[in-house]
Amino acid sequence: MSDNSAKIVITDEVLQQYKDTCIQWDPVLRQLPIRAAADVLKYFVPVKKLRGKRRFGEISGKSQFAPFKRDRVSKASVNIDYREIETFHGNVIETFAPVDYLDIPLGYHDPVITEAIKKAGTTFLVLAQLVKARGQHIAQCAFTGKRDPDGDTTLDLCDGLLTIAQQEIEDGNISVAKGNLYKVGEAVTNANACDIAKEIVFSSNQFLRRENNVMLCPTSFADAYNESYLLTHNGLVYNKQYDQPYVEGSGHKLTLIPVPELDGTDKAIVTQTSNLLYGTYNDADQTSVDIMRSGHYDLSMASDMWLGFQFRTIDPRRFRFIDLAA
């Protein structure tokens, strides 16, 4: 079939070409938003095929050995603390004019779309660019989303990690006393960022410190840390490398991860990537990418998916929330 995707008027042939593209590339188009958010979601564990709620249990026990006694009897003590992740149904319906994409070259390369374009025409490129753009909003929602059923943006679809953590703080489940909250008492600067990061390490639960942790933080904090390291360690050979991926004093157990989506929040998260969950449902039996005529010059594209985020545990042995505000 000839490529009529850039014709000015939406003829039946143009409409059918877009419909056929949606059918042929349906799995790719449904997955592209998640793939486009990979810079953030790569630090999460996916919970796939989730519509609604699922509980994850954290098991702990107090069973222990003691010096031998023939008549020893004790009561088993095993606790299971549950946390619940919930995904919410979201959709998007957008109109677009194919003629606006007349000049897209067929050889266009995109790191997210990758090898798929070698077999696709302009119709796929147009749809893929529209769908892929949604990924940046999913990445932002992962941290700052706040559920609003009447909202009109991805940030309204579900609660992000900062929103979840703030609710746990209000409920008293995350606190300085419990050891899973750290509040910085002074403004972060190039002069003190290194000391602040070390204090976060040294004051953390000792079981948390032995884990391989990441510190998801604003880019400004990572920049301040690198500058602070230069000022305080300028005589060390180790400082041949400007960017310091590990926090000094952590034994290479805490890696700084600057996250643009956290910029402006003054918040950071110290945990393991196995503790961060994102739930999705975008399989073909319940979701789709559909095309219909919207006017003489326009087409309308509709698609939907389920999305949600959660911490697997907020136990201070696995997690710490950092308030960087002075």
CA–CA gap between residue 148 and residue 319 (Å, rounded): 27
Give whole-number Cα distances, 117 to 100, 109, 213, in Å.
Answer: 19, 8, 37
CB 30 within 8 A of CB 22: no
Q: Report which residue type is found at 278.
A: Y
DSSP secondary structure string for all residues of 224-262: HHHHHHHHH-TT-GGGGSSS--B-TTSTT-EEEEE-GGG
Q: Report which residue type is found at 102.
A: L
Give per-residue pLDDT as tens, 46-68.
Answer: 999 999 999 987 765 666 767 77
Q: What is the pLDDT of residue 64?
A: 72
Q: What is the pLDDT of residue 114?
A: 63
Residues of the chain with pLDDT below 70 are 1-8, 59-63, 65, 76-80, 102-120, 234-244, 284-287
Q: What is the pLDDT of residue 1?
A: 45
Question: For the packed helices 135-144 and 161-170, what is the interaxial angle rounded to 10 degrees?
Answer: 10
Give whole-number Cα distances, 280 to 47, 159, 292, in Å.
Answer: 6, 14, 26
CB 301 within 8 A of CB 290: yes
CB 309 within 8 A of CB 159: yes
Give per-residue pLDDT as tens, 189-247.
Answer: 999 999 999 999 999 999 999 999 999 999 999 999 999 988 877 665 555 555 668 89
Q: What is the pLDDT of residue 59?
A: 61
DSSP secondary structure string for all residues of 164-185: HHHHHHHTTSS-TTTTSEEE--
- Residue 56, token pair as written in the block: 């994850």
Q: What is the pLDDT of residue 235?
A: 64
User: Three-class SS of residue 57?
Assistant: strand
For the entire predicted model, the pTM comes to: 0.86
Give per-residue pLDDT as tens, 8-17.
Answer: 678 888 888 8
